[in-house]
Structure formats: C-alpha cells, structure tokens
Chain A
Amino acid sequence: MTALLEIQQVVKSFGGVRAVDGAAFDVAAGSITALIGPNGAGKSTLFNCVAGSLRPDAGRIVFAGRRIDRLPTHRIARAGLVRTFQSARALARMTVLDNLLLASIGHPGERLSGLLLRPRAARAHERALRERARELLDLVGLQAHADAYAGTLSGGQRKLLDLARVLMLEPTLVLLDEPMAGVSPRLRVELLDHILALRRERGITFLIIEHDLDFVMQAAEKIVVMNEGRVIAQGDPASVQGDQAVVDAYLGTAAVHEQPAPA
C-alpha cells in the first residue's frame, strides 16, 4: 500500500531556530493518523508546510505521488489536500451558507470568463452546490443558522462550520488542526463520530494534530510523536504509549492521562 502523504526530511527554520528539524513519516490512504507532541514540537509548523502556507527550507512533501512542497496553498487545496484551522477562521462578515458555497472547485461562475461564456453551466453548478451545502449544514446541525453571519456563531459551531466547509471540497486528505481545542465534551463526541463516519463512508484520510490524548487513543490507527522538530516515535497507539522516548518527552506536562507501564 503506497502512502497517500509522504513527509520526507522536512526542515523549516525561523531566524536560526529549527522549528522542524528533519521530520519524516507517512500517512496511509484511508487512515486516521494523529500527530502529537509537547508544545513547540513543530507540529503546527509542519502542518503549515504541508498545507502550503509555509515553504520548507529542505525536504520533500509528496501527496498522491505528486510533490507539493513548492506549491501555493490554493493549488494544494484544489489537488484534494485541505485543512481546518485551530481558530476555525470562519469568514465572519459572510453568511454561514456563503462560507460553504465558497468551498467549491471548478465553478464556472467563479471566473469572469465563465460568467460571460458559460452562464448556464454556472447556474447549474451553483444549484448543485447549494443542495450539497444544505446537506452538509444538516449533517453538522447548523441548518438553522444558514443565513446568519458566521461571526455570530459560537466557537464550537465555527469548528463545525470549518469542518463542513472543507468537506464541501470533497477532499482526499484532511488536515485537522486541534479540532477539539475549546470544544465542549458533548461536541467532542459529535466531532469524533463525524470523523469516523467520513472515513468509513467517503474514504477520507485524516491527519490530526491534537492534545486530547483520550481522543487520539480512541480515533487514531497510527500516532506520530514529534519533539523538538523531529519524529521521535511512530506506530499504533499501544506501541507509542509504551515508548520510553515518548514518556520522556512528555514528562513535566499535564497532557498524559495515565502513566504507561514500562515496556
């Protein structure tokens, strides 16, 4: 089974500090992979490199056999690799529905040439888009807020919006950036259910940065542990829990819920 996403010795520095220092791991298609590690380990920086908002200083990132580490964000998104944001980044002064309608690839109505030369195709695409948007709003339970400004949503609702938005893009791989941060326990369960269902029904691959280790142990098949810019362990939850290097990295932080028994 070839990996859907390959991180190959990626390096990224900021003014002399190596935030990512030779990270390397694979993400298998159809899997749920978690990326964990103490604060400052380089997880967000790596995410940004994969998503295209940062350019790695060295190394390669290969997605579905195609090298993406030099592509701009919008091209990567169009190729099927999308991301959510820690802060959800809802477009506050646009409606919830508009937020979803924006998540469309290849819409003739989004190009001036399309508006002029293919008006019927544009209208048809827009109709289909609206239907899918309504479906997704129902899925995440935001249908009552469709015409409200996204800025009026609560934090948890914005996360749902962010998730629905990237799903509109019919992605192959979704990068979730701390989806549980600031979210109520009830909503956490809901989000977990959504993620598992999406993987099961649509075959979407997930790579998730998360600090909530309960969630990680429940949801992920593979866990990648980073510390100080490098991958210090990777594997299934059981083996990672028992890894001494992982324990050492987390010593002193309150993130670990139970002390793993020494291997």
Chain B
Amino acid sequence: MSTLASAGFWEFVGVVAGIYTILALGIQLQFGFAGLLNFGQVAFMAIGAYTMAILVVKEGWSTWLAAPLGVAAAAVGGLVLGLPTLRLRSDYFAIVTIAFSEIVRYVAMNEDALTGGSQGTIALGPVGQAAQYNGQWAQFQHRMQAWLGLPSADATMLVIVWLAALALLASAWAVLRTPWGRVLRSIREDEDAAASLGKNAFAYKLQALALGAALAGVAGLFYAWQFSYFSPDDFAPLLTFFAWMIVLLGGLGRVFAVPVGAVVFGFIFAGTRFLGFAPFSWFASDQRAYLRLIIIGLVILALVVLRPQGLLGKREEMVLE
C-alpha cells in the first residue's frame, strides 16, 4: 500500500511525468511555437507504441530496430494528417485532429488481427499465448539497473526516461533557436506577414506537426515499456488533454517550461490521492478519481481565465497579443 512518503510511488509518478514531458513537448512545438491546435496527439503515441509492439511480436524484429520505426511511423502519421488538413482554419483543424485520433483508436480497437483488438497487446501473439514485446527492453533495463546501482526497476526507468526527456528538450531548444525556429515562430505570429517575406507557411507547419508527432511516438514507446502491456483504451483523448494542461501550466512558447508543468501536474494528480480531508473524505475511493479530475479541470479553467501565460510564460507576450 503506497503512502505519501513511499519512494516507489513517487518513482512511478516520476516516470509518468517524464513520459508526459515528452508527449507535451510535442504539443509545445506544435502549438506553442507553430500555432497548431492538435487535439489528436495521443493517436501518434498509439501509433508509435503499436508499431513497435507489432514489429517485435509479429515480425520478430529486434526492439532496437522496431523502436525507431515506431517513431518514424508516428511522424508519417503526422504527415498523413497534416497534408490534407493544415490549410483548414484553426477550429476546423482541431476538430479534424480529434476525429483522426478517434479513427486511430477505432482501428486499434477493431482490427483484431493487426493490433490484438480490445484485448490489447496480449492478444498480438498466437491464440493461447500472452504476447510479450518487452523482452529485450527488460534485459536492457536490468543491465542499466545493475550498472547504475539503482534499487528498483522503476528507479531505473525514471533515470532512462528523464535522460531521454532532457536530451529531447535540449534538442528542441537548440532547433528552435535556429533560423528554422525563427521562421516557425513568425508563422505562429502572423502567417500572412511571414508569407509576404517568402516563407512557405504550410511546409513549416507540416514539419512542426510531424516532429511533434514523432515526440508523441517516443512517449508511446516509453509508455509501452513501462507498462509492458497496453490496449486501445490506454490511448484515450484524456491523455491529450493532460498534455495540453501541462503545456498551459508551464507556459506557452518555452521549451523548459514543459518539464516544470509535467512535474507540477504530476504532484497535483498523484498527490491528491492522499488527501484524506474534506471534501475528499466525503467520497468513496473510486469516486475520488473523478473528483481529482474535476479539480484538474477547474485548475485548467482557472488558468485559462486568470493566468493564460502559465507559470513561466512571459506576461508581456500575452499583453502584446
């Protein structure tokens, strides 16, 4: 039974926060820097995870080949979504991204032969066998644990995920400071002015969408490895929403605001599990889950109304809007 002080529990929260950091970084790139309202981010997470799992289980690929291909598949997913839809007006685009996300979930749910259907990855293998895609990864994790002298698998995963997250954050930060990043920001700022300066806005937006999707793919891989089994229900729109919350919480347009948002969000979400006082104490424990989500939703509403720049965003950037 986890207590507030249990290390194992917080290690787990840390891993999830790290995964969300990578997922939310994709959104920060797409919206915070390119101005795209992508509400289907979780679909790319699913594509990354499923591609890797299917290649490992069904085609017998090595994890180290299947994983990059999962990320590539997610990026291609971004291209497939963006090519026909990026010229649409923002609100229409947002609706289409949600539709896309649902279509991906539907396919995962119903194409049993391909994805294991609603039973999830357990059903990927031959009938009667519980399929495992985790073999090589578990070995790798074991070796890392021994090498680093860490006490548990979760602690090891924590280190690995956050190393990856930091590497990706640093890369994103570096790319956004290049002239490419400058063009991207100008398109978010005023697409027509950017076009009048010779910038092909569509091409840049497509790249931002695909890169953000690739990041979601990476998040999907870590999710798959952490939980060693997943099903289509794991990739519900709620995850996209949490990622958006993290970006808003930390602040738009700042790469290193994302991990801050993720950690704060992780604390709020996980920490509320331990609140034994009213109003929580009025409810049974399974009901408290709903209450926590209500509180999270109210926090995001408060943010939107009262502090749209988030924790770390620049006030003057909001005022100049």
Contact = CB atoms under 8 A, between A and B. Distances in A.
Interface stretch (B90-98, B129-137, B185-193, B271-279): B185-193
B195 interface: yes
A126 B195 CA distance: 20
B147 interface: no
A174 B189 CA distance: 23
A132 interface: no
Measured as residues with beta carbon below 8 angstroms from the partner, the interface class of chain B is: 20 to 34
Contact of A89 (B190, B200, B316): B190
Contacts of B179: 101, 104, 107, 109-110, 122, 126
A115 B180 CA distance: 8
A115 B189 CA distance: 23
Given A94-B185, A94-B186, A101-B179, A89 B320 contact: no
A89 B180 contact: no
A149 B320 contact: yes
Nearest to B183: A110
Interface stretch (A74-82, A135-143, A180-188, A238-246): A74-82
A159 B33 CA distance: 26
Give the secondary structure class of A's interface: mixed
A85 B186 contact: no
A92 B186 CA distance: 10
A109 B183 CA distance: 10
A59 interface: no
Contact of A74 (B178, B198, B317, B321): B198
A73 B316 contact: no
Contacts of A58: none
A103 interface: yes
Contacts of A52: 195
B35 to A, nearest CB: 12
A102 B192 contact: no
Contacts, number: 88
> By CB atoms of chain A within 10 A, which of B186, B190, B192, B197 has the most?
B197
Interface string A85-100: 1000111111000100
Give the secondary structure class of B's interface: helix
B196 A51 contact: yes
Contact of B193 (A91, A114, A126): A91
A79 to B, nearest CB: 9
Contacts of A92: 189, 320
Contacts of B182: 94, 98, 101-102, 110
Contacts of B197: 74, 77, 82, 102-103, 165-166, 169
Interface string B159-178: 00000000000000001001
Nearest to B314: A93
B76 interface: no
A128 interface: no
Contact of B178 (A73, A115, A149): A115
A105 interface: yes
A144 interface: no
A166 to B, nearest CB: 8
Contacts of B207: 112
Contact of B201 (A74, A109, A149, A166): A74
Given A92-B189, A94-B189, A149-B320, A110 B196 contact: no
B199 interface: yes
A235 interface: no
B194 interface: yes
B317 A93 contact: yes
B198 A115 contact: no
Contacts of A115: 175, 178, 180
A109 B192 contact: no
A164 to B, nearest CB: 12
A105 B198 CA distance: 7
A111 interface: yes
Contact of A91 (B175, B178, B189, B316): B189
A64 B190 CA distance: 28
A74 B199 contact: yes
A89 B198 contact: no
B192 A73 contact: yes
A11 to B, nearest CB: 23
Contacts of B320: 92-93, 149, 151
Interface in B20-78: none
A215 to B, nearest CB: 23
Given A102-B199, A149-B316, A169-B198, A89 B193 contact: yes
A53 interface: yes
Interface string A25-39: 000000000000000
Contacts of B198: 74, 77-78, 103-105, 169
Interface in A211-233: none
A72 interface: yes
Q: Which 7 A-B pairs have the closest CB atoms?
A: A109-B179, A151-B320, A77-B198, A73-B195, A89-B193, A78-B198, A91-B189
8 contacts: A89-B192, A90-B193, A91-B193, A93-B189, A93-B321, A101-B182, A102-B197, A110-B183
Interface of A: 51-53, 72-74, 77-78, 82-83, 85, 89-94, 98, 101-105, 107, 109-112, 114-115, 122, 126, 149, 151, 165-166, 169
